[in-house]
Chain A
Amino acid sequence: MGPFQRLGRSALGVLERLGRGHLFLLRTLLAMGTLVRRPGLLLREIYSVGVLSLLIIAVSGLFVGMVLGYQGYITLVDFGAAEALGTVVALSLVRELGPVVTALLFAGRAGSALTAEIGLMKATEQLSSMEMMAVDPYKRVIAPRFLAGVISLPLLAAIFSAVGVAGGYFIGVGVLGVDAGAYWSQMQASVDFHEDVMNGVIKSMVFGVVAAWIAVFEGYDATPTSEGVSRATTRTVVHTALAILALDFILTGLMFGDI
């Protein structure tokens, strides 16, 4: 096989997977109706996808906020603008770090678990046996997990940002002696709800869809062997990270481009 043939073949392979991924998303969305009738399925998944990710998200948010407190202070104090620390911390978190870092952590904590779980269910014929019991795995397994991811990620990102702001406060006000009133009032004055907060929320919602989609698709599409599942899990983390960073660039360009 010549290099061009190989290139062509792998390009076709990528396109085929992309197509399968979109059909998969379509079928998942069509299967969503069940969740209205059986919210219990969704709640269970929100627990395992979202609630169990809380700790790592909160701890990471705290540390990122504290680091921002230090770094922001070092930069600002040279310009005699240390009171603006609150603004710097809040804007960095709400606009950028909250959605992005949460999505990356989510891929590692929840996305990989989703892929492995679904992939193993496939490898052990559990999905197949469900089909034979007249239970649609899209409705029973895929849709709840997908939607749980979509719902959880924005909430986790919000928690990440909130805890981060508190971490920045702890370092800035508690350790470095920035005025507490200034920290909050500067933040309040310059963080705009629509420009900053909503854009961050939109970002994290888009990331939620992408991260959850990749995770459940990789699981469902995994080669049903232990090796296949482990490869799928790795792919979930890598592809999600790349997709998130690329989308972040595009979304940031769209949102803040006209300022």
Chain B
Amino acid sequence: MPRCWEWLDRTRTAREHSRCLTTRPPFKPRTRTIDASPDKTPWIEIRDLHFARGDRKIFDGLNITIPQGQVTAIMGPSGTGKTTLLRLIGGQLRPDHGQVLVEGRDVHRLSRRELYRLRRRMGMLFQSGALLTDLNVFDNVAFPIRENTRLPEPLVRNLVLMKLEAVGLRGAVSLMPSELSGGMARRVALARAIALDPLLMMYDEPFTGLDPITMGVIVSLIRRLNDALGMTSIVVSHDVAEAGSIADWVYLISEGRVVDAGPPEQLRREASDWSRQFLEGLPDGPVPFHYPAPDYLDDLMGGDTR
């Protein structure tokens, strides 16, 4: 599957080119049967990962396989370490124990140069968007292209406009990040993350703060990008319905471990108590709603003053 900019290199028009992002047939959820672990070639393997923040264990023997070319959703309650997991995959944090293998190579054993080369093929949508506040929308999306390639400026412009068109914000090119709403900022951040057509896209909560229409567009965009460009995608979310609708494979994590895994339909059908509670949003069950805390009554009565 040729990547978008290779088509452009062969002197197609920008309109023709943008078709690969915007005018593909609408996504139909595919039904396929996958056994206990995804059977595609693994792109990322996380083996026996341990990670702690201070005394608090975030991961305690986590095993995850991300297959190539598929959308893998990672779901779990707030504060389980989903963002932390993405940072570990991106090499920004070091595990205390265990490995993160990307294409069979341990991310945390790479030299700085190799790590940066690897990151050039990764895109990450930050939970907060994390746009560069001193650059306008255009320059933000152009930033990774300009920094990592030597494409001529007219080409950069076309690429940027195409990515912005895909998220519906081509009209906002000259706005500053402070002039964007939260949802718009995240869409710009999405355009920036896919600017270099990465092989691996990591989306951290891509659905929060979007209105229903935008949500629908973004959901199908993620799926289309994955299929059209042959990406591998990791979607971190606690939005069960949306993540379930695009994912080929879902991992549910809690308390540092995978508690359930499988294709979304299967999970919905034969989920454990834990997964059922999470997927159906029941307040009571095996999943604790609270951050670990001292006994509520003791706390209120001021029994144990800190």
Q: Which positions in A face B, CB cutoff 8 Å?
A: 120-121, 124-126, 128-136, 140
A136 — which chain B residues lie within 8 A by C-beta? 116
List of 7 A-B pairs having minimum Cβ-Cβ separation, nearest first: A129-B130, A125-B130, A134-B119, A134-B120, A133-B144, A132-B124, A135-B147
CB distance from B190 to the nearest CB of A (A): 12
The answer to whether A132 and B148 have CB atoms under 8 Å apart is no
Selected contact of B122 from candidates A120, A125, A130, A132, CB within 8 Å: A132
Selected contact of A126 from candidates B87, B119, B124, B133, CB within 8 Å: B133
The answer to whether B128 and A140 have CB atoms under 8 Å apart is no
Q: Which of A126, A130, A136 has most B Cβ within 10 Å?
A: A126
State whether the Cβ of B244 lies closer than 8 Å to any Cβ in chain A: no
State whether the Cβ of B110 lies closer than 8 Å to any Cβ in chain A: no
Selected contact of A125 from candidates B119, B120, B126, B144, CB within 8 Å: B126
The answer to whether A126 and B132 have CB atoms under 8 Å apart is yes
CB distance from B182 to the nearest CB of A (A): 13
Selected contact of B119 from candidates A120, A124, A133, CB within 8 Å: A133
CB distance from A148 to the nearest CB of B (A): 15
The answer to whether A129 and B148 have CB atoms under 8 Å apart is no
A130 — which chain B residues lie within 8 A by C-beta? 132
CB distance from B200 to the nearest CB of A (A): 11
Provide the bound-state CA to CA distance between A125 and B131, in Å: 8
B124, closest chain A residue (CB): A132
The answer to whether B117 and A132 have CB atoms under 8 Å apart is no
The answer to whether B126 and A134 have CB atoms under 8 Å apart is no
The answer to whether B116 and A134 have CB atoms under 8 Å apart is yes
CB distance from A55 to the nearest CB of B (A): 22
Mark out the residues of chain B between 99 and 131 whose CB falls within 8 Å of any chain A CB in the assembled complex.
Answer: 116-117, 119-120, 122-124, 126, 128, 130-131
B122 — which chain A residues lie within 8 A by C-beta? 132
State whether the Cβ of B92 lies closer than 8 Å to any Cβ in chain A: yes
B90, closest chain A residue (CB): A132
The answer to whether A128 and B126 have CB atoms under 8 Å apart is yes
Selected contact of A131 from candidates B119, B123, B148, B189, CB within 8 Å: B119
State whether the Cβ of B7 lies closer than 8 Å to any Cβ in chain A: no
The answer to whether B147 and A132 have CB atoms under 8 Å apart is no
B128 — which chain A residues lie within 8 A by C-beta? 124-125
Pull 8 A–B residue pairs with CB atoms less than 8 Å apart, ordered by A: A128-B130, A130-B132, A131-B119, A132-B90, A132-B122, A132-B124, A132-B126, A133-B148
Provide the bound-state CA to CA distance between A134 and B119, in Å: 5
The answer to whether A124 and B148 have CB atoms under 8 Å apart is no
Provide the bound-state CA to CA distance between A121 and B133, in Å: 8
Provide the bound-state CA to CA distance between A124 and B130, in Å: 6
Q: Which of A130, A132, A140 has most B Cβ within 10 Å?
A: A132
State whether the Cβ of B143 lies closer than 8 Å to any Cβ in chain A: yes
A125 — which chain B residues lie within 8 A by C-beta? 126, 128, 130
CB distance from A76 to the nearest CB of B (A): 51
B127, closest chain A residue (CB): A125
Known contacts A125-B130, A126-B132, A134-B148; 11 further A-B pairs (Cβ under 8 A): A121-B133, A124-B133, A125-B126, A129-B130, A131-B92, A132-B90, A132-B122, A132-B124, A132-B126, A134-B119, A134-B120
The answer to whether B124 and A129 have CB atoms under 8 Å apart is yes
The answer to whether B132 and A132 have CB atoms under 8 Å apart is no
Provide the bound-state CA to CA distance between A39 and B117, in Å: 23
CB distance from A143 to the nearest CB of B (A): 14
CB distance from B138 to the nearest CB of A (A): 16
B116 — which chain A residues lie within 8 A by C-beta? 134, 136
CB distance from B115 to the nearest CB of A (A): 9
Provide the bound-state CA to CA distance between A121 and B123, in Å: 19
Provide the bound-state CA to CA distance between A120 and B134, in Å: 12
Provide the bound-state CA to CA distance between A126 and B189, in Å: 11
B133 — which chain A residues lie within 8 A by C-beta? 120-121, 124, 126
Provide the bound-state CA to CA distance between A133 and B191, in Å: 13
The answer to whether B117 and A126 have CB atoms under 8 Å apart is no
A38, closest chain B residue (CB): B147
Tell me whether A129 and B147 are in contact in the complex, defined as CB-CB below 8 angstroms, given that A124-B133, A134-B117, A136-B116 are known contacts.
Answer: no
Provide the bound-state CA to CA distance between A140 and B146, in Å: 12
Selected contact of B130 from candidates A126, A134, A135, A140, CB within 8 Å: A126
A117, closest chain B residue (CB): B134
The answer to whether A129 and B119 have CB atoms under 8 Å apart is no
